Chains A and B, each alone.
Chain A
Amino acid sequence: MSTYLTFRILKGAFVVVLISVLTFVIMRLMPGDPVYMLLGEGQIPITDAQIEAIRAMWGLDRPLHEQYIVWAGNLLRGDFGQSLIRAGVPVRQMIFEAIPVTALLNLYAMLLAIAVAVPFGIAAAVRRNSWVDYASNIFSALGIATPNFWLALMLIVVFALYVPQWFGDLPLVGRIPPFGLRSWQGWILPVIVIATEEMAVLMRITRGAVLELLPQDFVRTARSKGLAERAVLYRHVVSNTLLPVITVIGFRIAFILSGTIIVENVFALPGIGRLFVDSVLRLDYQVVQSLVVVFALLVVVVNLLTDLVYALVDPRIRIS
């Protein structure tokens, strides 16, 4: 076990270093100069000498390998450097301010998705070809096919604009704002948008997993022992569907960044996805590089944890 863990950790560390080098090189290969991002569309004329002075101030005039070693060295000491565009603000602070927004958004969405999708997925499999099954299939197909962007705008139009106009404040919920997190109600729509896609995927996977398990020998044995159908389902079938569900949850964490970019943009949420896109567009090297390393680390750790959790959930899997 310890040999396996050491091997996985070393492999993970190698992957993170490799990704950090690649990101560093790709960012530098990208055309353009972050200095121009400060100037607007020609509102501030600037001379080449002044551009060079700003580049020197940022350390961009030094050789590439030197820039990388300085940055990586600082990173190892926990210093993510300072943002080029948001000068004076440490990158670590920017990331730590954005992470809770994205993490909570995904946590709430995942909890909502599990709470809805797992029971419906099981019900759809158990009552195959019933209206529950058809409804879950239609929802899954629509949930996966509907673009986040469109769904988000539609929800804003309906719940922030028309519902208050026609019916006033919603009972219990009150008023839903069109953007931002000024109140707890601000979480409702973005969580629903992210959860819709999660639900669609999870519902389909749960249904498939249960359908696969129902004809298995151990289920027949459980039934032949005289167990009630409910006990067969909850004690034997549902516990065995956990494995694919955990796989999906682990897999989805790797997609947090890409999955929330659009939602954060539409609802004006200051999360990690928006920070990433804004930083790429403005060529804010320090922020992009640090974010990619943080996410590479996150994916490596989550993958490792997912494998370890497999062994806990399913005794047939042995880590070796």
Chain B
Amino acid sequence: MSDTKLSRLLHKPISRRQFLRYSVASGIGLYVGASSMSAWAQGSQGGTLTWLGHQEVAGLGPNDIGPDVQAAVIFNILNPLVHVDYMAVTQPVLAREFEVAADGLSYTFRLHEGVMFHDGSEFTAEDVKYTYETYAQPGNTVASRFDGMREVEVVDRYTARVHMDSVNASFLRSACEVPIVPAAYHESVGVDGFRTAPIGTGAFTLSQWRPAEFTELVAFPEHFRGAPSLDRLRLEVVPEPSVRYIALLTGDADATVWPLAVEDSLELMDDPRFKVIATNWNSPRFIPLNNEVPQLSDRRVRQAMMFALDRQRILDDLESGLGVVATSHLAPHNPFYNPNVPLYPFDPERARSVLDEAGWVEGADGIRSRDGLRLAFTCTTISGDQTRRPMAELSQIFLRAVGVEMQLAEAPVASILQGLREGTLEASLFNWTHGSITDPSPTSTLQSGGGDNFTRYNNPEMDRLIEEGLSVVDDELRRPIYNRTQELYAEDMPALLLHYNQGLNVFADTMVGVPDDMLMALPVFFDGHRYSRG
């Protein structure tokens, strides 16, 4: 692969101006696409597109939209009121237009008229009310998206208004992505019944569902955005990444929802039969540190460790350079990303002087200690995780050089998550989302007592900022709040941020209509109606 091609993909920072330009461009693109399908679909009419996933499609209801592979299928059967597209722009889908009250306490959605569900019934505001009020009930995995919602009012057949008890700034991008179900049918089959036999307004209907093998959808000609060009969409479950790579080469698949191994994706970059598009991950690769452990509770220790890590080298040596060094809990492509935070360039001398100032003195074995407490801890990596374990090993060497001992252990992922949540583990190494494009708030990860607060981080200012951020709906008013959360995070450094990975998304030229640029790859798969077979 040529260096220029790689560097073009790797060094693709996006400015706010570019982001806005992309947003406008994608908005225009979608408008044109909606009015004329031919702008997207230039392949032949009919045929089947086959996508590959890595894990089984365990369910097809609104509660199942978490795992990527499931979302790729579900959003072609069911539609939400709005969704965040591949350029991170909020787009109306079943809603023709929407309006957010200035106080953030109500959302009005004017719906498309004449939209039909697969069973021939018409989609109305009653279905919105039923869906939101059903899935907001505790016991549903998407219930937390509806936090703050009081009720849904049916203003008329095609207008629904959501009333909030309290402002939830992420409501539009989070709750309104929950897909709409037909009230009468859903009531008759229940939440679990619907998961196995979904009916929606999507461009495809469920034809065959064999969870561990494949899911096949057939075109729904009465789809409100126009009949799809394809006859069928098929998602095959292929757990082994090398086999997914071979399946693309043999023509048995047209795209993979879950990425290939990096080296395989790089191989395909030079193959003219494939379009390989790089996108940044939302979740940083990081080392969460238990901030309650005495030797890690001093933020100067954590800051020193950041100076000690050569994070660019970790990225270059172990990730083929695919990614960017992390500076914030939000990814660089996030509209709320703040680049003006304290930075931690690789500087072992500075690391040593910070530790000296903090009173940690190097012992005979080269490991520092203070008041009889050794500066040592254990980082538990996920059993069998051959990708991230070497990063822990390299970090161990960097930290040892400044007098910090990081021992390594392994445990299953469930054990690690539970250990961190209960505070029985000292550190680990994995990726976790701390606020995404759809919701920049790090509520569960950085708020004291948050369910995913793996570092046991506790800063009253951060708690206050998180509350404030969720109580304002205007993005421009939210921005200074999240600017400050990122500064605070960089000052306190509750975890050792390593980098944001770059995913290489592979599409075969047989999938016609794939956009040439994208900030997020997953939403590309929600638009099965836009593609045709070349």
Docked pose: A97 CA to B209 CA in angstroms: 12
In the complex, whether A265 has a CB less than 8 A from a CB of chain B is yes
Docked pose: A274 CA to B237 CA in angstroms: 12
Interface centre among A56, A179, A283 (most CB of B within 10 A): A179
A32 touches B417 (CB 8 A): yes
B436 touches A46 (CB 8 A): no
Which A15-41 residues have C-beta < 8 A from chain B?
A: 30-33, 36-41
In the complex, whether A70 has a CB less than 8 A from a CB of chain B is no
Kindly provide the distance from the CB of B217 to the nearest chain A CB, expressed in whole angstroms. 16
Least CB separation from B438: chain A residue: A43
Contacting residues, chain A, for B114 (C-beta < 8 A): none
Interface centre among A47, A51, A87, A268 (most CB of B within 10 A): A268
Least CB separation from A55: chain B residue: B139
Contacting residues, chain A, for B38 (C-beta < 8 A): none
A266 touches B243 (CB 8 A): yes
Contacting residues, chain A, for B193 (C-beta < 8 A): 88
* Given A40-B66, A161-B250, A180-B236, residue A33 in contact with residue B418 (CB < 8 A): yes
Kindly provide the distance from the CB of B80 to the nearest chain A CB, expressed in whole angstroms. 15
The total number of A-B Cβ pairs within 8 Å is 149
In the complex, whether A6 has a CB less than 8 A from a CB of chain B is no
Which B277-329 residues have C-beta < 8 A from chain A?
A: 283
Docked pose: A85 CA to B414 CA in angstroms: 15
In the complex, whether A86 has a CB less than 8 A from a CB of chain B is yes
In the complex, whether A195 has a CB less than 8 A from a CB of chain B is no
Least CB separation from B236: chain A residue: A180
Cβ-neighbour of B59 out of A36, A87, A180 (below 8 A): A87
In the complex, whether A270 has a CB less than 8 A from a CB of chain B is yes
In the complex, whether B15 has a CB less than 8 A from a CB of chain A is no
In the complex, whether A50 has a CB less than 8 A from a CB of chain B is yes
Contacting residues, chain B, for A98 (C-beta < 8 A): 212
Cβ-neighbour of A160 out of B63, B139, B250 (below 8 A): B250
A40 touches B67 (CB 8 A): yes
* Given A153-B242, A268-B238, residue A89 in contact with residue B211 (CB < 8 A): yes
A178 touches B246 (CB 8 A): yes
* Given A156-B246, A268-B240, residue A49 in contact with residue B138 (CB < 8 A): yes
Cβ-neighbour of B243 out of A38, A44, A86, A267 (below 8 A): A267
In the complex, whether B196 has a CB less than 8 A from a CB of chain A is yes
Interface centre among B68, B192, B213, B283 (most CB of A within 10 A): B213
Contacting residues, chain A, for B68 (C-beta < 8 A): 40
Contacting residues, chain A, for B138 (C-beta < 8 A): 49-50, 53
A42 touches B239 (CB 8 A): no
In the complex, whether B21 has a CB less than 8 A from a CB of chain A is no
Least CB separation from B443: chain A residue: A45
Cβ-neighbour of A42 out of B55, B195, B433 (below 8 A): B433
A30 touches B67 (CB 8 A): no
Kindly provide the distance from the CB of A76 to the nearest chain B CB, expressed in whole angstroms. 24
Docked pose: A266 CA to B243 CA in angstroms: 7
A41 touches B283 (CB 8 A): yes
B415 touches A270 (CB 8 A): no
Which B162-215 residues have C-beta < 8 A from chain A?
A: 192-193, 195-196, 210-214
Mask of B437-449 contacts with A, CB within 8 angstroms, 1/0 = 0010001110000
Kindly provide the distance from the CB of A253 to the nearest chain B CB, expressed in whole angstroms. 23
B444 touches A45 (CB 8 A): yes
In the complex, whether A157 has a CB less than 8 A from a CB of chain B is yes
Kindly provide the distance from the CB of A192 to the nearest chain B CB, expressed in whole angstroms. 16
Kindly provide the distance from the CB of A111 to the nearest chain B CB, expressed in whole angstroms. 24
Cβ-neighbour of A88 out of B195, B246, B412 (below 8 A): B195
In the complex, whether A79 has a CB less than 8 A from a CB of chain B is no
A157 touches B246 (CB 8 A): yes
In the complex, whether B34 has a CB less than 8 A from a CB of chain A is no
Mask of B246-271 contacts with A, CB within 8 angstroms, 1/0 = 11011010000000000000000000
Docked pose: A97 CA to B208 CA in angstroms: 14
Kindly provide the distance from the CB of B526 to the nearest chain A CB, expressed in whole angstroms. 15
In the complex, whether B431 has a CB less than 8 A from a CB of chain A is yes
Cβ-neighbour of B139 out of A42, A44, A48, A57 (below 8 A): A57
In the complex, whether B142 has a CB less than 8 A from a CB of chain A is yes
Kindly provide the distance from the CB of A12 to the nearest chain B CB, expressed in whole angstroms. 30
Mask of A213-252 contacts with B, CB within 8 angstroms, 1/0 = 0000000000000000000000000000000000000000
Docked pose: A76 CA to B142 CA in angstroms: 35
Chain B residue total in the interface (Cβ 8 A): 57
Cβ-neighbour of A51 out of B211, B250, B430, B451 (below 8 A): B451
Docked pose: A48 CA to B421 CA in angstroms: 11
Contacting residues, chain B, for A47 (C-beta < 8 A): 144, 444, 451
Q: Is the interface of B mostly helix, strand, loop or mixed?
A: mixed
Chain A residue total in the interface (Cβ 8 A): 53
In the complex, whether A296 has a CB less than 8 A from a CB of chain B is no
Mask of A157-189 contacts with B, CB within 8 angstroms, 1/0 = 100110010000000000001111100000000
In the complex, whether A194 has a CB less than 8 A from a CB of chain B is no
In the complex, whether B44 has a CB less than 8 A from a CB of chain A is no
Cβ-neighbour of B436 out of A30, A43, A178 (below 8 A): A43
B451 touches A164 (CB 8 A): no
In the complex, whether B387 has a CB less than 8 A from a CB of chain A is no
Kindly provide the distance from the CB of A142 to the nearest chain B CB, expressed in whole angstroms. 22
Interface centre among A36, A45, A180 (most CB of B within 10 A): A45
In the complex, whether A66 has a CB less than 8 A from a CB of chain B is no
In the complex, whether A313 has a CB less than 8 A from a CB of chain B is no
Contacting residues, chain A, for B213 (C-beta < 8 A): 180-181, 268, 270
Least CB separation from B141: chain A residue: A38
B414 touches A86 (CB 8 A): no
In the complex, whether B432 has a CB less than 8 A from a CB of chain A is yes
Kindly provide the distance from the CB of B191 to the nearest chain A CB, expressed in whole angstroms. 8
A42 touches B432 (CB 8 A): yes
Cβ-neighbour of B196 out of A89, A179, A266 (below 8 A): A89
A265 touches B239 (CB 8 A): yes
Docked pose: A44 CA to B252 CA in angstroms: 32
* Given A39-B141, A54-B139, A85-B58, residue A268 in contact with residue B431 (CB < 8 A): no
Cβ-neighbour of A53 out of B139, B142, B236, B452 (below 8 A): B139
In the complex, whether A110 has a CB less than 8 A from a CB of chain B is no
Q: List 19 A-B contacts (CB under 8 A).
A: A30-B415, A31-B419, A39-B141, A40-B68, A41-B433, A42-B433, A43-B436, A44-B141, A44-B144, A45-B144, A47-B444, A86-B58, A87-B58, A88-B193, A88-B195, A160-B246, A179-B236, A180-B214, A180-B236
Residues of B with Cβ closer than 8 Å to A? Answer: 55-56, 58-59, 63, 66-68, 138-139, 141-145, 192-193, 195-196, 210-214, 236-240, 242-243, 246-247, 249-250, 252, 283, 411-415, 417-419, 430-434, 436, 439, 443-445, 451-452
Q: A31-B415, A157-B246 are in contact. List 16 more A-B contacts (CB 8 A).
A: A40-B66, A41-B283, A50-B144, A57-B139, A86-B211, A87-B192, A160-B246, A161-B246, A177-B250, A177-B252, A178-B250, A181-B213, A268-B213, A268-B239, A274-B239, A275-B212
Residues of A with Cβ closer than 8 Å to B? Answer: 30-33, 36-51, 53-54, 56-57, 82-83, 85-89, 97-98, 153, 156-157, 160-161, 164, 177-181, 265-268, 270, 274-275, 278, 283
